[in-house]
Amino acid sequence: MDFLTNSALTTDADPGSLLSVLTRALRGHMPERYSDYWREAFDARVREALVPGMRILDVGSGRKPTVARDQRPPGCVYVGLDLSAKELQAAPTGSYDEMVTGDISHRVPELEDRFDLVLSFQVFEHVKPLESAMENVRSYLRPGGRALLHLSGAFSVFGILNRLLPHGVGIFLLKHLVGRDPDTIFPAHYDRCWYRALKQLGGHWSYFEVLPRWRGASYFGFSRVVRAVYVTYEEWTVRSRQVNLAPYYLVDAAA
Ligand SMILES: C[S@@+](CC[C@H](N)C(=O)[O-])C[C@H]1O[C@@H](n2cnc3c(N)ncnc32)[C@H](O)[C@@H]1O
């Protein structure tokens, strides 16, 4: 089971007051933004960006490429880059036309100007310094190439807990409360992973959009009461546009 899926939930088009959000969440009804699959906004942009023959770099793709082999356009070249050779090798056979082992924050001159699309799903919160990583992504794109990145927010409730708790305790809780496989949990830095800091990284790009994604409740599915309290807090952040507190960000940028 995907750890962010909970098919038992229903969603509300009009959640009403915050008190009503709380009472409805206690009964298992979530705000409307929870109606689709949690990564659908990212996946939809990726699908729309795919073009036959394109060259794609998947940053931090590890054992799970962002676009599975059978979903790729014809003639596409798919390169996986990851800090860990072991993670890349754990991917399904034939996932990559080329594997690059390295840190995205360290420039690899051979990758410069090579790609039409750079993808990255849930990786940039693990990267430091993020500024160098973003500049490398830009340099690996051809002029006009696009980057689609999805990452966790530094000031999300989960992101704060993740930094406060020792790594081992975090792994224990994620395994036992959220059902995460410990092999898929990596240390996170959250360097510049909030709205205002991300926007500031866009200066050298021709287009740079940062979209807050308020979908953090799945971390709290172990208790209906805790999840309801979280969703009410998250709803407040949405309504008061606390964009620096979002649990996730989608960055859609053009070089
Ligand atoms: C949470 S996993 C995400 C894997 C995959 N993108 C997915 O959707 O399941 C994070 C991945 O990023 C890789 N990673 C962490 N820091 C990195 C860095 N600085 N440069 C490149 N890859 C990194 C890890 O080795 C791991 O494979």
* Three-state DSSP state, 207: strand
Pocket probe mutation, ligand 1, options 58, 67, 79, 82, max atoms within 8 Å of Cβ:
82
Our separate counts of H helices and E strands in the chain read 8, 9
Domain count, the chain: 1
The strand ranges marked E within 72-114 are 77-82, 98-101
Q: If we measure between CA atoms, which residue out of 3, 83, 24, 47 comes closest to residue 224?
A: 24
Domain of residue 90 covers 10-254
5 assigned to some structural domain: no
3 assigned to some structural domain: no
Pocket of ligand 1 (CB under 6 A): 60-62, 64, 82-84, 87, 103-105, 121-123, 126-127, 186
pLDDT tens across the length of the chain (255 residues): 333 444 456 676 666 899 999 999 999 999 999 999 999 999 999 999 999 999 999 999 999 999 999 999 999 999 999 999 999 999 999 999 999 999 999 999 999 999 999 999 999 999 999 999 999 999 999 999 999 999 999 999 999 998 888 888 888 887 888 788 888 878 899 999 999 999 999 999 999 999 999 999 989 989 999 999 999 999 999 999 999 999 999 999 999
CATH number at residue 87: 3.40.50.150
CA angle 246, 204, 145 (to 5 degrees): 85
35 assigned to some structural domain: yes
